[in-house]
Amino acid sequence: MKNILLEKFDTVPFSQINDEDFLPAIKELIKLKKDEINNIVSNQEKPNFKNTIEALENSGDQLERVTLLFSNLNSAETNDNIQQIAKEIKPLLAELSNDIILNEDLFDRIKIVYDQRSNLKLSPEETTLLNNIYKDFFRNGANLSSSDKKILRTLDKEISLLSLKFNENLLADTNNYEILLKNESDLDGVPEGAKEAASILAKQKGKKGWLITLDIPSFLPFLKYSTNRELRKKIKLAFGSRCFNQNSFNNEDIVLTISKLRYKRATLLGYSSHAEFILEERMAKKPSNVMSFLNELLEKALPFAKKEFKEIEEFAKKIDGIDILEPWDFDYYAEKLRKKLFNLDSESLRPFLKLDNVLNGAFRVAENLFDLNFKEVFNIDVYHKDVRTFEVLNNKNELIALFYLDFHPRAGKRGGAWMTYFKGQKNIDGKNERPHIANVCNFTSPTDVKPSLITFNEMLTLFHEFGHGLHGMLANTKYSSLSGANVLWDFVELPSQILENWCYEKECLETFAQHYQTGEDIPMELIDKIKKSSTFLQGTQTLRQISLGLLDMSWHNCNPSEINNVKKHEESAISKTQLFNRKYDSMCTSVAFAHIFSGGYSSGYYSYKWAEVLDADAFEFFKENGVFSKKIGQSFKDNILSKGGTEEPMVLYKRFRGKEPSINALLKRSGLIEN
């Protein structure tokens, strides 16, 4: 039968694809990729940049699209069938990758071209591509012995499958928990919108009452506002114990095994640790630089975090007689203290943050800075009815990108928020293929009587992922592997994190923050309160990110062979960042730390704070010239967003900023040093 995945397509024909199409299509496309590699290797011409490096770069285009499509569906609209197919596909792709990387004849051709690079008169982008391909082969075993290559293949296959299983367990255990509240008094203090959403969720599952799940839009309002301390405790412990329970979704053994396999792989390749292997190709360069960076931030943030914690602790004791502040108390009393200090209730912002309006606000930022227009279209095939599609046009009405938006939680979607591609950008033989980008999130859903009214933090997330999206949309490079967000990992968060800054600016908020019922503009005093409260708990939030960065490095910057207890190792790794007086035996972060065990952030979680240094410094440049400065926007577009990974990140950054970034801008913005 006809398999649409084997045919060339522009937009993805979702409605014509069956789950069962993926495995045979990917097997066939793997064969085609191997044929292309064989053609490169058997070419009788002397190896050169075009017949070897460019040929390798351009091989397997359809395979890349189909595997990316499958991966996206497995994250955003998965089911048991897709998860089972993934277990068959993952090893095939890992084996193909190894077949290519460990192909001695192919590497010989690459090395011949690499060795004559100084005489080739290559452009900066071509030079980067050549360097990347050579290093990719060299760093992943091209020079290993035959026996070690076999070991590497086995390790890669095992790591691939375990990472997949980690993610499956996390999704399953998240979905496995729900609490049905039958008495409305159990929701005392919870905002009406959150109560209504809980009621609708219960109805959707054929139940009477109010249903709370471990999806963030469901449980977070409960933790922040519920007066029922015991229920807050129950839900907080449930979230903190995901994949740490003694059931089939437990991830402890997977965490231990992945960390040990990664170490074994790194040492096989000649590195002292997985972190050393990873960081060689990051801006940070080596683990000692990451640890110095995290410890410098820790020294700045810890006194502020301790002071903030004590303030909330004393506040809880004063108003409710709480003797010991527990994790299920922190958000609740922090929100009360925020309201007291700034007369700002987070929920009071929701009516002014209708999702559609916030989205339009993000679009206006892109329009003002980068001359982009977003036109919603309804003739694009989608994978779920909730997905919206937009054509992204420049001021000449030329198509720049296609943009998919998927905003609300559902059972088949993993938690969190991310940007991804359905089609990459490249410019080969004068044909500039424009990208198809997607933002996938888990925001507050609309109810029967209200549109989606999101929190301020959800607005930050929308702008954040939109920043990633712009990095993809505005890509303008020759090669797809250097396009858009294909940059060094500790540079990738700059375009996303810088965009969050506009959420605090009056000039931005007044363009879209209107009351969803009355149309009233968000009051200026509310904007002033938002600005004044922007440093509230910054010490604590910074400490949280440092803690996760240290935890990541603790798993990957060592020989983990002696680690046999996930919980004890974690407690030791993050002990100096902990503020609570007691330990909580049933909660564990590592087993649900998808960023490092099933995502791409192993030895890289520090990059969020690293990129904050860049984004704070870069936004300071905008503020000096006006937050909607066309000139600075054009420079950011020309030197950062459109360039992808074509040159070293610091070269691109200095071209935009005129100098290297300073950590002081971040410390000032966070209130950790005086302005």
Please report, for the domain that includes residue 57, its CATH number.
1.20.1050.40
**Residues whose CB is less than 8 angstroms from the CB of residue 203 and which lie 6 or more positions away in sequence, other chains included:** none
Mean pLDDT of 5-22: 96
The Cα 185–Cα 98 span in angstroms is 59
Residue 539 in domain: yes
Q: pLDDT band at residue 675, thresholds of 50, 70 and 90? A: low
Same domain, 225 and 338: no
What pLDDT score does 406 carry? 98
Give the whole-angstrom CA distance, residue 577 versus residue 301.
10
- Within 10 angstroms of residue 253's Cβ, the number of other Cβ atoms is 11
Final residue of a domain: which of 240, 261, 294?
A: 240
Closest CA to 667 of 625, 621, 617: 617
Give a yes or no: residue 163 inside a domain. Answer: no
Strands 210-213 and 178-181: antiparallel
In tens, the pLDDT along 613-646 reads 999 999 999 999 999 999 999 999 999 999 999 9
Shared domain check, 340 and 397: yes
Q: Is the dihedral of CA 593, 596, 598, 599 positive or negative?
A: positive
Give the model's confidence band at 198: pLDDT under 50 very low, under 70 low, under 90 confident, else very high. very high
Residue 269 domain flag: no
Average pLDDT over residues 154-173: 95
314 to each of 130, 308, 327, 674, how far by Cα in Å? 59, 10, 15, 25
SS3 content of the chain, % helix, strand, coil (to 5): 60, 5, 30
From the list 597, 550, 618, the residue with the least C-alpha distance to 296 is 550
Give the strand pairing for 431-433 and 426-428.
antiparallel
Q: Quick one: pLDDT at residue 509? A: 94
Domain carrying residue 397: 283-557+603-675
What is the β-pairing status of strands 399-406 and 431-433? Answer: unpaired
Which of 57, 308, 313, 465 is flagged as catalytic?
465
Q: Are residues 334 and 421 in the same domain?
A: yes
For residues 547 and 639, state if they share a domain: yes
Instruction: Residue 238: name the closest of 372, 304, 328 by CA.
Output: 328
pLDDT, residue 447, reads 87
Q: Are 351 and 451 in contact (CB under 8 A)?
A: no
Question: 3-state class of 449 per DSSP?
Answer: coil
Size (the chain), residues: 675
Asked whether residue 430 falls in the same domain as residue 534, the answer is yes
Percent of the chain exceeding pLDDT 90 equals: 91
Q: Is there a catalytic annotation at residue 57?
A: no
Q: Is residue 256 part of a domain?
A: no
Q: Which residues lie below 8 Å from residue 498, measured CB to CB, with a gap of 6+?
A: 467, 614, 615, 618, 619, 636
Which among 122, 143, 164 is the end of a domain? 143
**Stretch 318-338: mean pLDDT, rounded?**
96
Is 148 within a domain?
no
* Residue 543 falls inside a structural domain: yes
**Cα–Cα distance measured from residue 481 to residue 487, given in angstroms and rounded to the nearest whole number:** 9
The 3 state secondary structure assigned to 536-580 is CCHHHHHHHHHHHHHHHHHHHCCCHHHCCCHHHHHHHHCHHHCCC
- pLDDT bracket for residue 430 (50, 70, 90): confident
Give 489's pLDDT tier (boundaries 50, 70, 90). Answer: confident
41 shares its domain with 116: yes
At 421, which helix (H) or strand (E)?
Answer: strand 418-423
- The residue-averaged pLDDT of 7-35 equals 97
Half-sphere exposure of 505 (CA within 13 A, CB side): 19
Asked if residues 272 and 368 have their Cβ atoms less than 8 Å apart, the reply is no
Instruction: State the Cα–Cα distance between residues 146 and 143, nearest whole angstrom.
Output: 9
445 and 539 fall within a common domain: yes
Do 124 and 75 belong to one domain? yes
* Number of separate domains in the chain: 3
Predicted confidence (pLDDT) per residue in 219-237, tens digit: 999 999 999 999 999 999 9
Task: Name the band, by pLDDT with cuts 50, 70 and 90, for residue 600.
Answer: confident
Tokens 């912002």, residue located:
349
pLDDT value of residue 138: 92
Rounded Cα distance, 642 and 33, in Å: 29
Neighbouring C-alpha atoms within 13 Å toward the C-beta of 564 = 1
* pLDDT per position as a tens digit, 265-289: 999 999 999 999 999 999 999 999 9
- pLDDT tens per residue, range 439-485: 999 999 998 889 999 999 999 999 999 999 999 999 999 999 999 99
- Cα 317 from Cα 326, distance rounded (Å): 12
467 with 525, same domain: the answer is yes
469 with 610, same domain: the answer is yes
Which DSSP category does 372 fall into? E
Task: Write the DSSP symbol of residue 514.
Answer: B
Question: pLDDT, tens digit, for every residue of 92-102?
Answer: 999 999 999 99
315: its two tokens: 């506040």
Whether residue 120 lies inside any domain: the answer is: yes
Mean pLDDT, the chain, integer: 95
The answer on 187 and 85 residing in a single domain is no
- Residues 338-373 have pLDDT tens digits of 999 998 888 889 999 999 999 999 999 999 999 999
Assessment of whether the complete model's pTM goes beyond 0.85: yes
Residue 490 has pLDDT above 90, yes or no: no
Q: Which of 29, 36, 34 is nearest to 51 (CA)?
A: 36
Same domain, 380 and 305: yes
Instruction: State how beta strands 418-423 and 436-440 pair.
Output: antiparallel
Report the CATH number at residue 341: 1.10.1370.40
- Whether residue 261 lies inside any domain: the answer is no
